[in-house]
Amino acid sequence: MRTRMLMAVGVSYAVDALFLACFWWLDRVSLGLPLLYAAAGLAHIAVFAGVFRLGWGRQGRDPYLTEWQMVTAIAVQLGAVLLAPWIKAYFLCIIFVVFAFGTLSLTIRQALLMWLSTCAMTAITLQYLPSQHNAAVTIPDNAREAVLVGLAYASILLRCLLLNHYGTVLRVRLVQRQRKLADEVVAVHRLATHDLLTGALNRHAILPMLEEQIHLVQRGRQACALALIDLDHFKRVNDGHGHLVGDQVLCRVVDTMNATLRPSDKLARYGGEEFLLLMPATTLEEALVVLERVRLAVAHQSWQDLVADLPITLSAGITHVHARDRLDDVLARADTSLYQAKNEGRNRCVCLAAN
């Protein structure tokens, strides 16, 4: 970033040197002025490039050494005023460019101090000019007019500084508002797609994912398996320990399952204590392995701090997506296999293939 900033400064010096060359072509200045100006610009770039390479200022409040660069650039312009006072208006205008560029990185206090220093340096420089060149724009008729011209120049420079600072503040606020808005959009999206209690996906988020997987299977892209999971006898937890403990159990079950599942698996709270697990690129046999691992993880979880007198287990009904399936077909088959797992004694996984 510091290198890019120096490149921008170098381009500005090059543009000014080109215009001075045009003044030479019009026989308004000697050839030495554009050459000397270009040399000063190269020296500016070389010195600060060396300073940056040494790492100076990198950890400070101003890693770009903006104040020092502004002082250097302004000194170059005022030096040029002394060498060619008959075109001093050009060099004085360049100071506005220096301020517009430099004050982007300065605080308002630093910018005001730089403005005061620049006004003083400019006034001192103009005192050394021959009387016929001692004006900012026009030749004053008397000392009061000279003071008025100086004050007008200072006020214009100050307004440029304040407007630039105000623009910078507005840009910063706009960026902050955009970031806040982006965070709010993310938060709203999460509320719309995730269960507020457990943090798992919700029904509205998982069903479109399932439909997409069905389309992929129909196009022969990949296999897909699905499981409906239900906590066994969960009503006993709510009735015996209260809904607050029941909520804590649900959250811990989701955390346990997420820690066991693969990154590609999608877990959603389908309703109450029932969950839907979508397993893309998974065969029925692979899905059974995954669900057995999940079942054992929940069964072996310690629940002593929540429901010491009740075991927490789950039953799962597993099926796979067939090319002929619609959404309701897959869900109905998973529900049938879950019902079978409960009838067979719970705390088990049952697979049901498509006919």
First to last CA, the chain: 63
Query: Which residue carries 């002082």 as its tokens?
Result: 71
Going by pLDDT thresholds of 50, 70 and 90, the confidence category of residue 130 is low
What is the rounded average pLDDT for all residues in the chain?
A: 85
- What percent of the chain has a predicted confidence (pLDDT) above 90? 39
Cα separation, 202 vs 209, whole angstroms: 11
Residues 236-259: pLDDT tens digits? 998 888 999 999 999 999 999 999
Q: Are strands 314-320 and 266-271 parallel, antiparallel or unpaired?
A: unpaired
| R_g of the chain, CA atoms, integer Å | 37
pLDDT surpassing 80 at residue 268: yes
Active site residue 273: yes
pLDDT at 159: 62
Q: How many CB atoms lie within 10 A of CB 133?
A: 16
Cα separation, 214 vs 221, whole angstroms: 10
Please give the angle made by the CA atoms of 268, 273 and 274, to the nearest 5 degrees.
Answer: 50
Q: How many residues does the chain have?
A: 355
pLDDT at 59: 67
Cα separation, 270 vs 16, whole angstroms: 69
pLDDT at 60: 65
Q: What tokens does 315 get?
A: 């039953």
86: alpha, beta or left? (left if phi > 0; alpha if psi -120 to 50):
alpha
189 or 232, higher pLDDT: 232
Side-chain-facing half-sphere of 246: CA atoms under 13 Å: 15
Residues 78-88: pLDDT tens digits? 888 888 888 78
Cα separation, 227 vs 353, whole angstroms: 12
pLDDT surpassing 90 at residue 206: yes
Amino acid type, 47 = V
Going by pLDDT thresholds of 50, 70 and 90, the confidence category of residue 140 is very low
pLDDT at 136: 42
Q: Are strands 266-271 and 274-280 parallel, antiparallel or unpaired?
A: antiparallel
Pair 276, 226: CB distance under 8 Å: yes
Going by pLDDT thresholds of 50, 70 and 90, the confidence category of residue 194 is very high
List the catalytic residue out of 273, 285, 286, 344. Answer: 273
